[in-house]
Amino acid sequence: MNMELSRRGFLKAAGVGVAGTTLGAFGFSELEAAQAAAVRPFKLTNTMETRNTCPYCSVACGIIMYSKGDLRKGETAEIVHIEGDADHPTNRGTLCPKGAALKDFVKAETRLKYPMIRKPGSDRFERVSWDQALDRIARLLKDDRDANFIATNQAGVPVNRWTTVGFLAASATTNETAWLTYKVVRSTGIVAFDNQARV
């Protein structure tokens, strides 16, 4: 990877150098300086590389994300470029029109940033804090579970299920998120538990 970066960087620098030198010989040294200043520095210089996989279909192409800032050092990291991972055995660096535009998903204007609540009958969302949102959810869950939990059936057999609240899980979260979601949901007795694989 680094090999390719330096090759690209080298070509760009060399091109500028040749033009500048020729012009310089004719007494245009100021132009040379101006042109050198106008050349955009290679955008992946000093970026962090992180291996990931495309979140769309299940070919699961390998990708490399380039970010400014290093998450592992506790810094804020901004992703500036995403490309195919040439070392990945399935995609060997290629990406489709979706994978090639992944950065646009990460930086979409419609990414959600804050918890919101829409009150009954309202025509808008209002921003709330995480504590407000989560305490509200916990209270809604607790009250509904206590009111509607079915401990036994008519024959007196323990059935311990809760049917009035349901949970629809995703299809692009990690296994680890899936497992934690499973634990939390299953422990409540929720039986209306499903995920995108259904459809």
Of 98-117, binders to another protein (CB under 8 A) are: 98-102, 104-106, 108-117
Q: Does 44 bind another protein (CB under 8 A)?
A: no
CA distance 26 to 22: 7
| Binding to another protein, residues 113-142 (CB under 8 A) | 113-123, 125, 130, 133-142
Closest approach, Cβ 4 to another protein, in A, equals: 17
Taking CB under 8 A as the criterion, the residue among 18, 25, 37, 199 binding another protein is: 199
Query: Which of 90, 82, 8 has the alpha carbon at shortest distance from 51?
Result: 82
Nearer to another protein, 4 or 70 (CB): 70
Q: Does 43 bind another protein (CB under 8 A)?
A: no
CA distance 50 to 134: 32
Segment near another protein (CB under 8 A); pick from 4-12, 18-26, 34-42, 89-97: 89-97
Closest approach, Cβ 24 to another protein, in A, equals: 40
Angle, CA 158 vertex, CA 154 and CA 161 arms, to 5°? 95
Q: Are 59 and 66 in contact (CB under 8 A)?
A: no
CA distance 49 to 37: 27
Residues near another protein (CB under 8 A), total:
120
Taking CB under 8 A as the criterion, the residue among 23, 41, 78, 83 binding another protein is: 78
Q: Any idea which residue has 């979601």 for tokens? A: 181
Segment near another protein (CB under 8 A); pick from 9-17, 25-33, 36-44, 80-88: 80-88
CA distance 98 to 103: 10
Sequence-distant (≥ 6) Cβ neighbours of residue 100 within 8 angstroms? 84
Nearer to another protein, 23 or 169 (CB): 169
| Binding to another protein, residues 156-195 (CB under 8 A) | 157-195
- Cβ of 91: how many Cβ atoms within 10 Å? 19
